[in-house]
Amino acid sequence: MAGMEELKQTLFFYYLQWATRPGPIQRAVAGALGGVKPKGRTYDRRQVRVAAVQMELSLISDPAEYARKVAALAGQAASEGAELVCFPEDAATHLVGMLPGIEKLAGAGSVEAALGEMGMDVKVADIFRFLGPAMRRTYLATFAKVASTLGVYIAGGSVVLPEEDGQVRNRQYLFAPDGRLVSSQAKMHLLPMEAVWGLSPGNEIGIYEAPFGRLGLPVCMDATYFETYRILTLLGAEIIINPSADPDEYNFWRKLRGIWPRVQESPAYGVNPCMVGDFMGMKLTGKSAIVAPLALSPHGDGILAQVESYDREGMAVATLDLAALRDYRRQAQIEASFNLDLYQRYFPAVYDLPERGGTL
Amino acid sequence: MNVVKVMAVQGGVESFVQSSFALDRDAESVHPDLIVFPAFAGLGVVEGSETASSFADVLALARQADRLAEWVVERAVALATRTGAVVVPGSVILPAGDGFVHRTYVVTADGVIGSQDQTHAGPFERTWPLKPATTLAPVPTPVGVIGLVVGWDVFVPEVWRILALQGADIICVPNATAAPYSQWQALPGAWAQVQQNQVYAVEACLVGRWAGQAWAGVSALHGPVEITPGDTGYLSQARSCDQPEAITGMFDFTALRSIRTAYPIFSFLNRPLYRAMMPGIYRGGDGRGGHGRT
């Protein structure tokens, strides 16, 4: 019997390889975007138009259908003039639908419960390890083709994948207008749920120099920690693309805790594309938004654009005035208030104290 | 103590001095365990401070009042003795060489048990000029471990993080912000910092006209949203941004522990990342820009 199970697994593995070959995915994208021709763009370092895509998470078993969904959303953003299109966290989790029978477990109450019902003694990370190669192929083929067809930068949300060191991480990828994968950033601060699932945090951080400005690519919970934005802006980030998938009932104050205060502390533009929908017992909510330092927002509230609904698909689009941001930073003189002696005394030692105890 | 009754006094620079009398009545009926006054309220002990027409006048008064710190502490001890509360008597400005320090105290009936000088100079304080402190030390008190956040420090996340990691559970914020009041301008301060550190905070705001300008703010008792009514992050708020008022509320430490356990933000701090980047990132010199260098 063990031999039969191995055979089934091997056959399913080959099926996934076949089902996720790039050709049909690229054709699906081309079909969804019709006769769109990429525009020859000259980027302006003074401004860029950005879209935060609010996407619904649902199980999708057919990679071509997934590709069409991504293409349609990106196409809508491009039609509104977006030169940088940003997708939410878990932007490829739809493809868990490739697992036979998974849709019958959607009402299990939680991902762990669903796995239990399947009689599987595995962690969620193991599912992503198993599906990883197929998800990676589908995700990369889809976003590369969408970016090159539309001729736009695409921050492809994040995707949970096994990495070369054997760890499973939640990583955001950036695609250039020619379809090249040009940058990525692993989520550095996990949700407790993700730790239980067996995911690992990334311990490195960096920025990407786009022709219009410098980008940071943190993921979801990274916005809970001021350290992320402080480091990114000191590295030079001007636009911080921070996708999320919040498994929480929507509440204005809860949602306000993340990106909005971070861009006030460390001045930058923030782009927050949200995943929404009911998925495997989780209710994902959020209002995708593009936020700014208060002084750079027309109503003084730090909001440049925001989706109305917190549980349906939508899109926030805004033009970011990068020249104004650079002027604002010069005038605000954030660095003039830094207390380097204080930081030298406490960082990083204060992080190594027993949790909430001991003094330096 | 598992539950602490807290009072934030919103008022003018005279609020601390007048409280020695007026608060007796409220304090007797409310019995607060902790009372916090607005920024600069300690200066009210100096004769002429109420009628200062500019901040330059205030700084001149502070330089002349060589017993200022002593007077503030005496009055705070008297109030603590009468009410049985721990008292944070607003803040004072004290001469320090060719500049000033901006200081607040934690006082009980036994005397001063802790103090804190402001560590970051905002645009306003740089004109004094402020001499920033280089230590942040939480103060163990009968009502819990208190961290003191003075002036511009309310907007500096590093300050709150350093205090919280050292065990501060209650952050006291004597605040003074120039009018007009904006909720959006205030939110990145105590409200946001409470959320990312899972602590309680008492914010007492200076209001009214003083030293040649109008001051406004909404005093508040802050907590993590999950343990506050309506998930707002506020346990209590003043009704106006420009009128004197004392607000009270309860800090429940069982609730605070429960949210820290259910949602352990500090357990997911990325220490390897911070070790690699901090404090070096603040010094710049990496050739890649940074705030204002692009």
List B residues 154-173 in contact with A (Cβ-Cβ < 8 A). Answer: 155-158, 161-162, 164-167, 169
Q: Any idea what the Cα angle at residue A305 is, between residues A304 and A311, rounded to 5°?
A: 145
B286 to A360: CB separation less than 8 angstroms, yes or no: no
| Span B16-23, average pLDDT | 67
- Which SS3 state, helix, strand or coil, does residue B168 take? coil
Task: Measure A93 CA to nearest chain B CA, in Å.
Answer: 23
The dihedrals phi and psi of B269, each to the nearest 5 degrees, come to -55, 140
Strands B170-175 and B200-205: parallel
Interface contact B138-A359, CB threshold 8 A: yes
Burial class (CB in 10 A: 0-12, 13-18, 19+), A165: exposed
Chain A, nearest residue to B138 by Cα: A359
Nearest to A360 by CA among B160, B167, B143: B167
Interhelix angle A22-32/A124-150, rounded to 10 degrees, is 50
Q: At the top level of CATH, which class does the domain B3-283 belong to?
A: alpha beta
pLDDT of residue B292: 33
B25 CA: distance to closest CA in chain A (Å) = 35
The pLDDT of residue B294: 29
Residues 218 through 237 of chain B touching chain A, CB cutoff 8 Å = 225, 230-233
Identify the pLDDT of residue A128: 86
Q: Which residues of B touch A301 (CB under 8 A)?
A: 184
Q: Between chains, do A205 and B277 touch, taking CB under 8 Å as contact? A: yes
The band of B24, judged by pLDDT with boundaries at 50, 70 and 90, is low
- Distance in angstroms (rounded) separating the CA atoms of residues B51 and B29: 32
Nearest CA in chain A to B185: A294
Instruction: Residue A248: list chain B partners with CB under 8 A.
Output: none
pLDDT tens track for A195-215: 998 999 999 999 999 999 999
How does pLDDT run across A289-312, given as a tens digit for each residue?
Answer: 999 999 999 999 999 999 999 999
Using pLDDT thresholds of 50, 70 and 90, give the confidence band for residue B22.
Answer: low
Among candidates B118, B114, B115, which has minimal Cα distance to B101? Answer: B118
Smallest Cβ–Cβ distance between B187 and the set A261, A345, A351 belongs to: A261
Mean pLDDT computed over A216-237: 98
**Cβ B135–A345 below 8 Å, yes or no?**
yes
Query: CB distance A265–B188 less than 8 Å?
Result: yes
3-state secondary structure of A16: helix
Q: Averaged over A9-32, what is the pLDDT?
A: 91
Residue B84 CB: number of other CB atoms within 10 A? 13
Q: Is it true that the peptide bond before B279 is cis, omega within 30 degrees of 0?
A: yes
Which residues in chain B (173-192) have CB-CB distances under 8 A to chain A?
182, 184-185, 187-188, 192
At B150, which amino acid appears? V
Confidence tier at B289 by pLDDT (50, 70, 90) = very low
Q: How far apart are CA A205 and CA A188, in angstroms?
A: 8
Chain B (15-54) residues lying within 8 Å, Cβ to Cβ, of chain A: none
In sequence order, which residues have a C-beta less than 8 Å from that of residue B151 and are 6 or more positions away?
Answer: B39, B91, B102, B118, B122, B125, B130, B176
The residue ranges of every structural domain in chain B are: 3-283
Tens of pLDDT, residue by residue over A150-168, are 999 999 999 999 999 999 9
The answer, yes or no, to whether residue A284 has pLDDT greater than 80, is yes
Sketch the domain layout of chain A as residue ranges.
47-352
| pLDDT higher than 80, residue A274 | yes
Instruction: Return the CATH architecture of domain A47-352.
Output: 4-Layer Sandwich (3.60)
